[in-house]
Chain A
């Protein structure tokens, strides 16, 4: 008699569902997911994997890890990254070597796909958890990622 077993199974699965949501209801005080954003601006911490914008970290000597290989520029599907580069003499080896002049990043075009970061062989660019990216002038969204006067960290090769 599948008729009665259907009724039994139906009631059982409904009660299972109600137990799950009932558990959520009881724990609603502790487990609230809502961020009351402008109020908790000081304490709000973004998640580890949050994709806000692409940045290039610099160390205390104003050195970055970008060798100017342009792999990010090639990987970018819509041309959000432009690299202006030059050749210069490397102090340690004395050889001529590629170095970046400007790493230009158009945040207004970026789709946050992350392909540039995956393509980077030296981890020179990373995600930053900044999310307050709105500005009044869209030219401010075209950013130069390397700081003025910075140079590549010695020993970073691609």
Chain B
């Protein structure tokens, strides 16, 4: 029987046997970083393909079906094209900030990916402030968008970036409060701990019943807004702003923004899975006794379901106006959230959780 733990342990032992300690540590870090980069690239590419296929099916089209069987290499071809393109820029841009912006976006997305427990043993980094870390990291991403729009010296990019700032500042509140509602239930910010809580008492959406469902709905709305996806894609509203904050970017820099959007979607879905749907735990514990079963499977299945839900939103709802966006957040989501958090606290105090 080979588990991830024994695999990683044997690699660890082998590295320490042939290298001095410091070098072995650094090699291990590089290996983990490479694994995450690979996951990042593959997940990004295939989420783009999934999005295009799902969009096509929602609109009774076929979607990409020419490159490879069923179009599975379409996004690879797109990525190759983007890599081979020239990195252009306009006159009078702020060169340093312009080049920095895509890295802000992509690095924060990568950082947030590191702490997810894909299975019991498959987790690179498990800080005891996991959820706090996620919230903190995900709010850095918007700096990349703001900087990119600012440095482009383009009014559409600037408007897009400013809208992004406004949107993220507003909706971060709802994301944070809905996460906090669930944290009341778990009593821990550590992601592995949150999943352990759900092993005995059922998934948190079951344990917390009504307030948990409200928190989930608020989280999905605010999470979609956080990732700047339709119906909250004011940032890159094609009909108004060209392409929004990445209007002036080309080639791989554009691809970074584009990939980061999909990775952020993956991150939001992963947070939802960890907080509400038991992470890598199997539904009703059906694979609990099977030791060789890869729990990663359950994690990715759940993430894909949530991502599908977000794509369903995207291809159903029309884009909100700026004032509607703010009304939704400040007049509806925030008061509901504040009441909900009290409701959850009372529920826990009276021991009415399931």
Residues of A within 8 A of B (CB): 7, 14, 17-18, 20-22, 24-25, 27-28, 31-34, 36
A36–B56 alpha-carbon span in the complex (Å): 14
* B60 contacts A24, C-beta separation under 8 Å: yes
* A22 contacts B62, C-beta separation under 8 Å: no
Stretch of B170-178, B184-192, B311-319 on the interface side = B311-319
The count of A-to-B residue pairs whose CB atoms sit within 8 angstroms is 38
A34–B58 alpha-carbon span in the complex (Å): 13
27 contacts between A and B (CB under 8 A): A7-B332, A7-B336, A14-B316, A14-B317, A17-B316, A17-B317, A20-B316, A21-B312, A21-B316, A22-B312, A24-B58, A24-B60, A25-B57, A25-B312, A27-B60, A28-B58, A28-B60, A31-B60, A32-B60, A32-B61, A32-B62, A33-B60, A33-B61, A34-B60, A34-B61, A34-B62, A36-B62
- A21-B62 CB under 8 A given contacts A7-B332, A14-B317: no
A100–B57 alpha-carbon span in the complex (Å): 53
Beyond the given A21-B316, A31-B60, please list 7 additional residue pairs across the A-B interface where CB-CB is below 8 A.
Answer: A7-B336, A17-B316, A17-B317, A18-B313, A18-B316, A28-B58, A36-B62
Main secondary structure of the interface of A (DSSP, over half): helix
- A25-B58 CB under 8 A given contacts A7-B332, A14-B317, A18-B312: yes
Interface centre among B312, B316, B317, by most chain A C-beta atoms within 10 angstroms, is B316
* A36 partner residues in chain B, CB cutoff 8 A: 62
* A25 partner residues in chain B, CB cutoff 8 A: 54, 57-58, 312
Closest 4 pairs (CB-CB, A-B): A28-B57, A21-B316, A34-B62, A17-B316
The answer to whether the Cβ of B123 comes within 8 Å of any Cβ in the partner chain is no
The answer to whether the Cβ of B59 comes within 8 Å of any Cβ in the partner chain is yes
Residues from 44 to 61 in B contacting A, C-beta threshold 8 Å = 54, 56-61
Shortest CB distance B213–A (Å): 12
With CB as the reference atom, state the residue of chain B lying closest to A13: B317
A23–B21 alpha-carbon span in the complex (Å): 59
With CB as the reference atom, state the residue of chain A lying closest to B66: A36
* B332 partner residues in chain A, CB cutoff 8 A: 7
* A27 partner residues in chain B, CB cutoff 8 A: 60
Shortest CB distance A103–B (Å): 41
